[in-house]
């Protein structure tokens, strides 16, 4: 492959039987890096649903970008995935924009969120529920079932830090569940 030639797609093609939301996120990012619009989503009614989602991108197992919505910002999941995949690839303030040379080293996951509900600390389980903490205009979010987040205390501490809320401050807690899709999964994975 010569310099400037895009890397070939790694996952299943969007229309293939094994393609799922994470594969669609990959195909969107590869198109965006090449200056193209998002490709059409796989032919599945899942993509017509209205739902919020997070798109996560990792490079060699380390986070490379993660952006999402807590309530749907688009008219269908396909547009939500494309929108959040673009933001994770190019607008996550923690990382520089993704470039062509990185594409082959990236892996993707998409978390489709349930509706959020208020809860108390004792109603949390970091393996099952994501958490939102809020105080004033500040809000921090943490997805569920993340490596290294084994306790409610750790989950809340990370979410509070992300929000810039002092641990001793008064704050509201909400929880949500996710359906997680990894690459090569046309239905929820693990």
User: Torsions phi, psi of 126, nearest 5?
Assistant: -65, -20
Task: Note whether residue 40 is domain-resident.
Answer: yes
Q: Please count the structural domains in the chain.
A: 2
Q: Are 119 and 23 in contact (CB under 8 A)?
A: no
Task: Note whether residue 145 is domain-resident.
Answer: yes
According to the model, what pLDDT value does residue 75 have? Answer: 96
> Cα 12 from chain centroid?
19
* Residues 49 and 101 occupy one common structural domain: yes
Query: Which domain range does residue 60 map to?
Result: 21-113
Write down the pTM of the prediction: 0.82
* Residues 126 and 89 occupy one common structural domain: no
* Residues 58 and 135 occupy one common structural domain: no
C-beta atoms surrounding 152 within 10 Å: 17
C-beta atoms surrounding 37 within 10 Å: 9
* Residues 85 and 150 occupy one common structural domain: no
Task: Note whether residue 6 is domain-resident.
Answer: no
- At residue 81, the 3 state secondary structure works out as helix
Q: Are 132 and 178 in contact (CB under 8 A)?
A: no
> What whole-number distance in Å separates Cα of residue 150 and Cα of residue 135?
24
According to the model, what pLDDT value does residue 14 have? Answer: 44
The tens-digit pLDDT sequence of the chain (190 residues) is 333 433 333 444 444 444 799 999 999 999 999 999 999 999 999 999 999 999 999 999 999 999 999 999 999 999 999 999 999 999 999 999 999 999 999 999 999 999 999 999 999 999 999 999 999 999 999 999 998 999 999 999 999 999 999 988 999 999 999 999 999 765 555 4
């Amino acid at each position: 492959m010569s310099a400037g030639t895009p890397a070939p797609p790694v996952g299943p093609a969007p229309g293939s039987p094994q393609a799922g939301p994470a594969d669609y996120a990959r195909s969107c990012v590869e198109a965006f890096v090449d200056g193209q619009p998002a490709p059409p989503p796989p032919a599945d009614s899942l993509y017509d649903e209205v739902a919020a989602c997070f798109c996560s991108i990792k490079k060699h197992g380390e986070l490379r970008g993660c952006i999402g919505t807590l309530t749907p910002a688009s008219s269908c999941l396909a547009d939500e995935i494309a929108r959040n995949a673009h933001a994770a690839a190019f607008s996550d303030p923690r990382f520089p924009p993704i470039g062509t040379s990185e594409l082959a080293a990236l892996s993707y996951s998409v978390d489709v969120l349930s509706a959020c509900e208020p809860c108390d600390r004792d109603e949390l389980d970091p393996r099952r529920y994501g958490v939102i903490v809020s105080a004033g205009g500040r809000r921090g979010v943490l997805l569920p079932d993340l490596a290294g987040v084994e306790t409610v205390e750790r989950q809340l501490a990370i979410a509070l830090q992300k929000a810039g809320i002092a641990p001793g401050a008064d704050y509201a807690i909400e929880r949500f569940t996710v359906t997680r899709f990894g690459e090569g999964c046309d239905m929820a994975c693990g």
